[in-house]
Chain A
Amino acid sequence: MIVAVASGKGGTGKTTVTASLAAVWDQPVTGVDLDVEEPNLHLFLHPAMAGCEPAYLPVPVVDEARCTYCGACSELCRFKAISVMGQLLLTFPEMCHGCGGCLAVCPEQAIAPGKRELGEISWGRAGAAGFLSGRLRISEAMSPPLMRLVKARLQQMLAAGGGDAIIDAPPGVSCPAVNAVLDSDVILLVTEPTPFGFYDFQLAWEAFSPLGKPLGAVVNRAGLGNDAIYQFCREKGVPVLAEIPYDRAIAEAYARGLIIAGISGRLQETFISLRDRVRHLANSKAPRQAAHA
């Protein structure tokens, strides 16, 4: 089972929830940081790293001695990462998505795969849990290709060792955020009951609910703000799976990089009950799809 922990904006406590859920998980589990632009799950899980390797995207390298400037590659590439004008061919590796299309379509076999470094993938163990993380190279503009590679490694790890995975997804509702939750069995949306939190929560619900996956809410800093979120969840049939109180001790633990499920018996119970309810939700059928799909 793969649980994706997402949120409509950053700073809602998404990573804290991921770390605490991994800490109370009572079956083999891997905590995965797919927020590759700003990975910070390690700051809470404190994993012992076992390995790290650079991740590359295959980008076209053209052998101009073979190229006839037929333009087939350039016509095919919808990302404009390869351009042919007359007797001139230019590539833009930074815009390439690594689909391999140009390579396949070239009638002269003039294109070979080169590499663009996307960032790095690292792995290790955090206590009983496995740990896997991607970090995007600074100035690399696209995160989905690196996320795909992290997910491929996760699939390998799960195929070899079994167990569940809890994914810390990038915040927001952009392409990377949706990409991160695509192969999950259940999505947790972490939010706060403030007007801004509610606004972003609605956007997240609109982005994720068409995927047809079971979806639940976790309200962080409960007690702040108003009950608009609760009303919205009732209307849309989104279960509120846990409420984490607004509490100074939690803020301090967070600042010190502690797992908040570990700071009090009550919080531990909160996360154990969240774990059980997540499991239950994942095993239930997805809620009936919203009418706008």
Chain B
Amino acid sequence: MSKSITLSGVLPAAGFQRLLDAVRDAGFRTIGPRARNGAIVLDELSDVAELPVGWNDEQVAGSYRAAKGSGDRLFDYVVGPTSWKRFLYPPRRELWHAQKEGQAWVPEAPADDFEPTAFLGVRNCDIAAIRTLDRVLLDSGYREPVYDSRRSKIFIIAVSCAAPVSTCFCTSMGGGPTPTDGFDLSLVELGSGNDHRFIISSGSERGAEIVSALNLDEVVERDLDAAATQDRTSVEKINQVPAMANARSTIAATMRSDHWDEVADRCLSCANCTLVCPTCFCVDIEDTTDLSGTSVSRHQQWDSCFTMSHSYLHGGSIRKTTAARYRQWLSHKLGTWHDQFGSSGCVGCGRCVTWCPAAIDIRVELEALEESLKEMTTEEA
């Protein structure tokens, strides 16, 4: 993937089904955005009508609202509570099982039956999140076998964001509304009604191959101008977080700040932020046995540093207080992730902000830490 990006052409929105069919004919099932119980989630689809046609979302700290409007656009909303991590590194997975024969047993790993899958409507922040997970699960010592195999079976169809919300801050994390890399195909949705169309770019050979059969229209000046305007408008709408630039050093210097106790007064320690986060990788591992105790299955499942068991040592947890647990989350995500994997663990998707029942905003907390650092340094001076 991510060789040279080529502008492939323009697909009229009326022909979107042809793209879905071409992807299916190439051997991929498709997972993409779908409206479910008032939220836009990721699930299998095969028909364009299954997309959240005309849906929009509104997201602020602690609140999410998505609803069908009168329009006909396919992607005028941003990320929902699900991330692609759910498919690449599922919430629960068997690692191995074993059957006792007498006293002896031999562990066996199950085969992974993940089919080749097209991810449709991947936002640029989520491409960055997949790259971040790659660094954790593939490039830091050994390759996580199931993630590795699933990663090689996905076909990424990205889409530019035309309707960012208040929780978006990708531009402060090195991203932006338009994907530039890391996809097989990328879409820019333009216009509506009779003028509704998609500029398609390809970022891989197989991407180019799939679109070559679609008889796309030629990209003209008018399309490029519209795409540029849409991108600029989105960039202007996306909140800037200047404090991110120094996040790592701010956090390192404020690990003993009182501010953590202040956040802890509001934080419910519910773990929502880590569960919606597209890069959190912590897992717990546990046994399930049958009644006779002769067969065992060992599973891993998503875990969170907000649980007491995460830091448990016999005698008690290391991070007993909410303050210590919130600090682990924020300082890992924005700080020590750099030490571990050479990048921030945050991509600016804003999910943790939206889905926090207490409306705690990681950006605001970082800014408060920066403030508390200034106070600390003036006191010392």
The judgment on whether A and B are partners is no
